[in-house]
Amino acid sequence: MNDMELSLVLFTVLSQVSVGLAVMAALRQWAASEGPAPPNVRIEWIVVGVVLLIGLVASLFHLGHPEGSPRSILHLSTSWLSREIIAFLIYGILVILGLVALWKETSRRAAILKFAALVGLIALAVSGMVYSPPSFPALNNGVPVLFYLLTAFILGPAFSSYLAGPAWQPWLTRILLTSLVVGLVLNLLLPSIWMAGGRVMHLTGLAYYGSALYWLRILGQFVLGIAVIAATRRIPIWLPVILLAGELAGRVIFFTHVVHTATNIGGLY
């Protein structure tokens, strides 16, 4: 971390888009499990798989030797990275099984889709732990897990609005509005909490509050998103793109603004 690696930015954000879409699609299919699956649900699950695949391919460019990536799963008992890979592998397999179940209209499709969404959420939690090392005190507390889940519940309903029918739009709008409010509060308060901590955490808080990109995200994603939804009571067609840009900016900040403990070596306190 402390370097903006585009591959990690894309992988983390796109995997969260995939899981967010899966959760929204699973909930919709659960509610309609008594009848045949609407065609748009099948399309949404295809998008879930394609977005995940793009994110996984992007993650390979983070490796110096992508051909050696299979060896990264050999340390499951000690490495959160190995657990992350396994979790997303299982999630991807379940997405494929869900698509097959939807096409065949099997009676177990709703159960498979719900389980895929649940595993996806677990995979995001595991992924968050990869970026919670002791060398980054501001993150060694589960904060990345909150960030990752929040991204899923912002971009999931946002992009689901393109595929869900009119009857689902108010439901998606409420979820998105709630997530944006939580995101605004969390992103405004966390730097203050960090500044009340040790030297390295204090520097992280200062880096966030002193960043033009941070404030641009606060205004351009959260404040604008909340204001637009509150005024229109819907998700405009352009808003998901703005929210995606905001989450990408947030991930850049996450990877570049959090201070490493090495920064304080030789410091006074």
CATH number of the domain within which 159 lies? 1.20.1630.10
* The pLDDT value given to residue 37: 54
Range of the domain at 237: 6-263
**3-class DSSP state of 220:** helix
Token digits of residue 4: 């903006």
For the segment 33-89, what is each residue's pLDDT rounded down to a tens digit?
555 556 677 888 999 999 999 999 888 875 554 544 455 555 555 677 888 889 999
Look at the chain and count its residues.
269
Token digits of residue 112: 């498979």
Answer yes or no: is 1 within a domain.
no
- Kindly state the average pLDDT of the residues 96-105: 86
Answer yes or no: is 269 within a domain.
no
Answer yes or no: is 259 within a domain.
yes
Answer yes or no: is 99 within a domain.
yes
Answer yes or no: is 143 within a domain.
yes
For the segment 194-235, what is each residue's pLDDT rounded down to a tens digit?
999 888 999 999 999 999 999 999 999 999 999 999 999 999
For the segment 128-179, what is each residue's pLDDT rounded down to a tens digit?
998 888 889 999 888 999 999 999 999 999 999 998 888 899 999 999 999 9
Answer yes or no: is 251 within a domain.
yes
Give the 3-state DSSP-derived string for 107-152, with helices as H, strands as E and coil as C. CCHHHHHHHHHHHHHHHHHHHHHHCCCCCCCCCCCCHHHHHHHHHH
> In 3D, which of 30, 71, 26 has the Cα closest to residue 45?
26
d(CA 66, CA 186): 36
Q: How confident is the model at residue 1 (pLDDT cuts 50, 70, 90)?
A: low
Burial state string for 89-100 with b = 16 or more CB within 10 A and e = fewer than 16: ebbbebbebbbe
d(CA 83, CA 165): 36
Inter-residue contact 60 to 69 (CB < 8 Å)? yes
Query: What pTM did the predictor assign?
Result: 0.90
For the segment 125-134, what is each residue's pLDDT rounded down to a tens digit?
999 998 888 8
User: Is the pLDDT reported for residue 93 higher than 90?
Assistant: yes
User: What total of structural domains would you count in the chain?
Assistant: 1
- Tokens 């850049």 sit at which residue? 252
Answer yes or no: is 147 within a domain.
yes
Answer yes or no: is 268 within a domain.
no
Burial of 37 (0-12, 13-18, 19+ CB in 10 A): buried
Taking the CA of residue 212 as centre, how many other CA atoms within 13 Å lie in the half-sphere pointing to its CB?
A: 0
